Amino acid sequence: MNLLEVRAKAKEKLRPYCRLCPICDGRVCAGEVPGMGGTGTGSSFINNVQALGAWKLNLRTLHNVSDPSTATTLLGHKINTPILAAPMAGTKLNLNGLISDYELTKAIISGSRLAGTYGMAGLVDGAALQALEEEKGEGFFIYKPLEQDRIIKWGKRAQEIGAVGFGIDVDGAGLINMRLLGINVEPKTPEKIRQLAQTLELPFVVKGIMTPDEAQLAAEAGVKAIIVSNHGGRVLDHTPGTAAVLPSIAERVKGKVTIMVDGGVRSGADVLKMLALGADHVLVGRPLLQAAVGGGATGVKLALEKLTTELKIAMILTGTSTVKEVSPRILSGSNSTWSP
């Protein structure tokens, strides 16, 4: 199996929910929620891609970097690449059940492990957690922002199976899909975040941070990691792209919490840009869902390895020796500034 075969199979199976456009920028699927698109006008999805595109890479070849290292650590765990699989679920509603949440999570977590990194299990029901347990807990468990007691219950279950980390996607507080399923998601106060971070033993992760002040609040509440994310543009129309807000967030909390980011990442060069903008790790969503549908765990592994190879090439051509020390000086042509 190769990636061309994976893509061809995914395109056949995902029709009409995803067209696997040559440029996955949210324009064709705008407003398709449920589905794979961005909410409303689709501008939040589109802005993710455009914000990354606004940053350019400075080509440098007069240096001695010929074999850069993509290895890094995440919350004390060694991984081969800073690229992780984003949490994804809700396939019954979004994809009419052509793949179950269990099958998707199993492919994501297993494929990520094969590629030497971690995937994240998103939850609508217990199927995703079952898949994570079968993979010996080698991944993250990201729950919906429901009632505190329910979050704590599932967090303790994640502890029992030995998950790498546990968290909630607060950016899911307004998900229409959840409400259609009768699931009452809600925003969380800093006090509620602090309670969760202090109650649960696993490193606590908050996904859905888009402003420096909320990044600071999360850090002060005791979370170990934040994920800069607008939920793939699927919850609130007219938000900026994550690459546009990442620098100001990094300036505020870099070194205080682990910073992850998702949104519009389609290549290894995109990953390098996010790292240069202040992220410690980069999450990929839609491309890995497509790979899972088209090739299961093997498809996910191949897709992650391709992204990592592209990242390594981009590092060579910008004079970057390690992902742990990516300089913002490799960037140009942006609409804002950022310095470490």
- When pLDDT is cut at 50, 70 and 90, the band that residue 126 belongs to is confident
Largest CA distance in the chain: 58
If pLDDT is split at 50, 70 and 90, which confidence band does 331 have? very high
Asked whether the beta carbons of 228 and 249 are under 8 A apart, the reply is yes
Query: For 200-254, how does the pLDDT look when each residue is reduced to its tens digit (9 = 90+)?
Result: 999 999 999 999 999 999 999 999 999 999 999 999 999 999 999 999 999 999 9
CA distances from 209 to 212, 213, 311 (A): 8, 9, 25
3-state helix, strand, coil in the chain (%, to 5): 45, 15, 40
In this predicted structure, which of 50-54, 87-91, 123-127, 164-168 has the lowest mean pLDDT?
A: 123-127
Residue 335 has pLDDT above 50, yes or no: no
Place of tokens 């501008």: 43
Question: What ranges do the domains of the chain cover?
Answer: 72-324
Predicted pLDDT at 173:
85
CA gap 330, 278 in Å, rounded: 12
pLDDT at 178: 66
C-alpha dist (Å) from residue 132 to 79, 106, 115, 149, 316: 18, 7, 16, 21, 35
- Kindly give, in sequence order, each residue whose CB lies less than 8 Å from that of residue 170, ignoring residues fewer than 6 positions away: 145, 187, 188, 206, 207, 208, 209
Do residues 49 and 241 make contact, with C-beta atoms less than 8 angstroms apart?
Answer: yes
**Of 256, 188, 263, 261, which is closest to residue 224 (Cα–Cα)?**
256
CATH 3.20.20.70 fits 72-324, yes or no: yes
CA gap 264, 218 in Å, rounded = 24
pLDDT digit string, tens, across residues 144-188: 999 999 999 999 999 999 999 999 999 988 766 666 667 788 899
What confidence tens digit (pLDDT) does each residue in 260-288 have?
Answer: 999 999 999 999 999 999 999 999 999 99
How far is Cα 325 from Cα 314, in angstroms, rounded to an integer?
A: 14
pLDDT at 307: 98
Q: What is the mean pLDDT of residues 45-74?
A: 97
Mean local confidence (pLDDT), 17-28: 96
Q: Do residues 134 and 126 lie in contact, with contact meaning Cβ atoms separated by under 8 Å?
A: no
Query: What is the model's pLDDT at position 69?
Result: 98
Q: Mean pLDDT for the chain?
A: 94
